[in-house]
Amino acid sequence: MRRNVLLLSVIFVLVAVVLTGHFHVSGVSADGAMYLQMARNILLGKGLGWQALWFPPLYSIFIAAVSSIAGIRELVFAASLVSVVCGAGLAFAVYFLASRLFDWKTAFCAAILCATFPHLLQGVGEGRTMGCRTVRSG
């Protein structure tokens, strides 16, 4: 148990350092506009809107919750924060899954590889939804 806490702490620090170095708020893609519109609909009390027919609503619900709880009026920035948290959560999920299937050394290596995977770093760092998409599809 103590080893797991230590390893999770190391993974969390690594993820935080790597993501902080790559983080910046960028423009919004076409998919991102739909997620932001659903979050805006939630905040205005209009429900999810027609966009929920094509896009899973969980990411938009997270954006609306972060925006509402933290008082962030800019939804693009709230989406970026959600993306970073989901990216970090992915590394933890990979660690726990690999520790159940293999040993702790394999789990630690898998989490480190996940935390430093360039494609996820680019998507999370730009405020895209790569972390959430990967967590949802896994």
Helix axes 104-115, 2-22, angle to 10 degrees: 10
Reported pTM: 0.65
At 100, the pLDDT band (50, 70, 90 cuts) reads very high
Decide: 125 and 24 in contact? Cβ < 8 Å.
Answer: yes
Decide: 102 and 94 in contact? Cβ < 8 Å.
Answer: no
Decide: 51 and 37 in contact? Cβ < 8 Å.
Answer: yes
pLDDT score recorded for residue 79: 85
**32-68, pLDDT tens digit by residue?**
888 888 999 999 999 888 888 888 889 899 999 999 8
Whole-number mean pLDDT of the chain? 77
Average of pLDDT values for 92-112? 90
Average of pLDDT values for 98-127? 79
Percentage with pLDDT > 90 across the chain: 17
Ordered by start, the domain boundaries in the chain are 29-137
Q: Is the pLDDT of residue 101 over 90?
A: yes
- 124: Cα within 13 Å, side-chain hemisphere: 31
Measured CA to CA, the distance from residue 34 to residue 60 in angstroms comes to: 9
Nearest to 64 by CA among 49, 50, 85, 82: 82
**14-24, pLDDT tens digit by residue?**
666 665 555 55
